[in-house]
Amino acid sequence: MKLRISGLWRHTDFLRLWTGQTISLFGTLVTRFALSLTAILVLHASATEIALLNAAAYAPGIIVALFAGAVVDRLPRRPVMIAADIGRAALLGSIPIAAAFGALSLPHLYAVVLAESVLTVFFDVAYRAYLPALVGREYLLEGNAKLSASGSVAEVTGFGLSGALVQLLTAPGAILVDALSFVVSAASLLTIRHHDPALIPDELPDGEPRSTRADIRIGLRFVAGDPILRAMAAKECISNFFRSIIGVVIILEWTRILGLTPLVMGLLASVGGITSLGGALVAERVVRRWGVGRTLVGSQIVVSVGSLFCAVAGGSFPLIIAALLANQTLTDSAAAVHEINSVLLMQSATPEPLLGRMNASMRFVGWGAMLAGIAAGGVLGESIGLRGALFVGALGQFLCIVPLLYWRVGMSEVDRR
């Protein structure tokens, strides 16, 4: 009996994109782990200096996102992605080179993280705008599910791989692996044959010359004027704000209050990666059974309930592990389903010439809320305690359901689209 290969498994260009991005995801996880270790072990950074390093990774999302959207919609998207990959490879490659010559410094790390983050914004905005043109709208759900599954596999194995590479190559040497992964990603993009023309004309509809400011204004107006995108933007703001509160205090809670070891925390993260993979694998079947809107609302409810298990974890060690396993199982699996369908919904609701600006507008709104949540998490952790801050973050997740229900996302209009 012959094995039947269908869908995107027969789409050569998508397989090249998928391969390059999967390898790049592994490299990115390695750098996420190794960069802080480089600052701590090699440069003896303080807590404040580590906080500044983390902030450098998010600030460009607010500063350049809208500009990136305007640029991406003017140019062919694949060359933008290739240039971003090559630039990121060069930036990250400078870290192990400088370390080898004894010239690495914290200002060097700050500069690399800032510049690499700018290029990542351009890549991500172009990437999500490029996928619908590459695979066609009928394969968007499958494409997003496959890419999400790659991210889940990377999460399962990436942390263990990161530790081994840091142990074997030192922290700066491990960052070189990520630099090489971006080279692989750029090479995979170069082999894609799909024609990728610029999509927007040089003039506005009224005949006036096109400007970056006008393009940004058009993108923001489109998102604000579309009920589906407006709902998703509101949901992203709420979700990112309260998730960031959790993110600020969760490691402190696990280490200082619950007394978990790094090994246990790593194993819990791996469980989250496995359940996330499971969510990515069933996402297509779930949405075909229940529809995009009901899937979004239902998965958000599960994410919110799962977050509460993290906040209530306590007591004996078995009870702590049981609560955190419930958190990882419910939250990560449902979040994967939710993310795949959120991206599908936003891509489906947006004309192709506006995809870059839509993605950039969502990034601008989401990262702004994320930075506000980080600040709020620090204040709440100090004022009401780590457990109290976790409860605020967990309960706040339920508010994400409000815009989805209020605008009735996906219940009727999405099906027509």
Average pLDDT, stretch 133-142? 81
Find the Cα–Cα–Cα–Cα dihedral 43, 49, 50, 56, rounded to 10°: -110
> Is 364 in contact with 65 (CB distance < 8 Å)?
yes
Q: What is the pLDDT of residue 233?
A: 92
Residues linked to residue 209 through DSSP beta bridges, in sequence order: 203
CA count, 13 A, side-chain hemisphere, 306:
21
pLDDT category, 208, cuts 50, 70, 90? low
Q: Of all residues in the chain, what percent carry a pLDDT higher than 70?
A: 87
Tokens coding 340: 């795949």
> Is 114 in contact with 194 (CB distance < 8 Å)?
no
> Is 41 in contact with 344 (CB distance < 8 Å)?
no
Which residues 6+ apart lie within 8 Å of 236 measured at CB? 362, 365, 366, 369
| pLDDT tens sequence across 16-71 | 988 888 888 777 777 777 787 787 778 887 756 766 777 777 777 777 888 888 88
**Exposure string (b/e) for 378-404, b if CB count within 10 Å is 16 or more?**
eebbeeeebbebbbbbbebbbbbbebb
pLDDT category, 4, cuts 50, 70, 90? very low
CA angle in degrees (0–180, nearest 5) for 21-26-28: 90
Tokens coding 368: 């702004």
What's the rounded Cα separation, in Å, for the pair 102 and 246?
Answer: 37
Q: Of all residues in the chain, what percent carry a pLDDT higher than 90?
A: 20
What is the 3-class SS of 351-396, one letter each residue? CHHHHHHHHHHHHHHHHHHHHHHHHHHHHHHHHCCHHHHHHHHHHH
Tokens coding 11: 């789409």
> Is 70 in contact with 219 (CB distance < 8 Å)?
yes
| pLDDT tens sequence across 290-340 | 888 888 999 999 999 999 998 898 888 999 999 999 998 999 899 989 988
| pLDDT tens sequence across 235-246 | 999 999 999 888
Query: What is the overall mean pLDDT for the chain?
Result: 82
Instruction: Report how far apart the first and last C-alpha atoms of the chain are (Å, whole number).
Output: 39
What's the rounded Cα separation, in Å, for the pair 245 and 68?
Answer: 27
| pLDDT tens sequence across 158-192 | 655 666 677 777 778 888 888 898 999 999 999 99
Q: What is the pLDDT of residue 6?
A: 53
Angle between helices 77-100 and 171-190 (to 10 degrees): 160
Angle between helices 106-135 and 77-100 (to 10 degrees): 150
Task: Please check the confidence at residue 341 and state whether its pLDDT lies above 90.
Answer: no
More confident residue, 411 or 65: 65
pTM listed for this prediction: 0.76
Other beta carbons less than 10 A from residue 299's beta carbon:
25
Helix, strand, coil % (nearest 5) of the chain? 85, 0, 15
Residues linked to residue 203 through DSSP beta bridges, in sequence order: 209
Residues linked to residue 392 through DSSP beta bridges, in sequence order: none
